[in-house]
Structure 1
Amino acid sequence: MATASPDAPEAPPAATPAAEPERARSWRVALAVAAVVSVVLAVLIWWVAVDGGNSQVRVEIPAGTARLLADGKDPSVVEGEILLDVGDELVVLNRDDRPHVFGSLTIAPGATQRIGYDQAGRFAGPSSVTTDSTVTILVR
């Protein structure tokens, strides 16, 4: 009678009927995960394409700014020049109890004004919150 040598490789176990459904299930899970990842990537790509990765530049006019102006003090809240990229949005929040002017915007007390820039250029206007009473917005 021949005996198997201890160094001989063992034959792989025969596939059991229960192993096949488990293998098929793992493939379904992998495909579902791939589908979800694909959808997430597609949404992110769409969002960047639609939004263009544009950003917001926020300017906040703090409470008490009008009082500084009335007292003859420097009301400078922001630099007199703001640099934006085409597609960016300027958001100005007025936390003061008086209206303020910022370029083409007049912002009521407690209000927020937004303006988007879809063309490159140099836009100058009056400002009640800068040292020289003007603001220039450079859009590149």
Structure 2
Amino acid sequence: MVALAIAACGSDAGRDGALVVEDPTAVHADYEYVIPLGTGARFDAGEVVEILPGEMTVRVGEVMRIINQDDRQHLIGPFFVGAGETLTQRFAGAGEFTGICTVHPSGEFVLTVEE
């Protein structure tokens, strides 16, 4: 199953149209992160797991892919990635997007998209 929608979990995503969901089967991704099976359980057990940085700066036109192999859904800033799903995101406009991050020890994710 493939996620083709984003959730704006407490963020300003979508206000200026800077986030555009791409075909998740696109070959090229400038940034790719894999959330391994068992990640949620590792967090529950108190392990420090860092899948991606808590803050990230990308450029308009770049693509990020998040592959969730875990049996749990995860939030990464404005993005929701269901269990076993892949999200591929092309950044269409500048802006800053923040939100909860369930795969970073800080619990937060800040994404800055620059021209």
* TM-score, normalised relative to structure 2: 0.68
> Where in structure 2 are there 5+ consecutive unaligned residues?
1-27
Determine which structure has more spread, i.e. the larger CA radius of gyration.
Answer: 1
> Where in structure 1 are there 5+ consecutive unaligned residues?
1-53
Deviations 1:3-53 (A, max 9, x none): xxxxxxxxxxxxxxxxxxxxxxxxxxxxxxxxxxxxxxxxxxxxxxxxxxx
Match 1:84 to one of 55, 58, 64: 58
Contact 1:103 1:124 in 2 (8 A): yes
SS in 2 for 1:131: coil
Aligned residues with identical type, % of pairs: 26
Q: Equivalents in 2 of 1:75, 1:133: separation in Å?
A: 11
Paired AA for residue 134 in structure 1: E
Match 2:44 to one of 70, 73, 79: 70
Contact 2:29 2:65 in 1 (8 A): no
Structure having the larger proportion of residues in strand = 2
The equivalences for 1:15-94 within 5 A come to: 56-94=30-68
Tell me which residue corresponds to 1:36.
Answer: none
Runs (4+) off by over 2 Å: none
Paired AA for residue 78 in structure 1: L
Q: Equivalents in 1 of 2:64, 2:56: separation in Å?
A: 9
Tell me which residue corresponds to 2:74.
Answer: 100
Tell me which residue corresponds to 2:107.
Answer: 133
Aligned residues: 87
* TM-score, normalised relative to structure 1: 0.57
Structure having the larger proportion of residues in helix = 1
Cα RMSD over matched residues? 1.6
SS in 1 for 2:111: strand
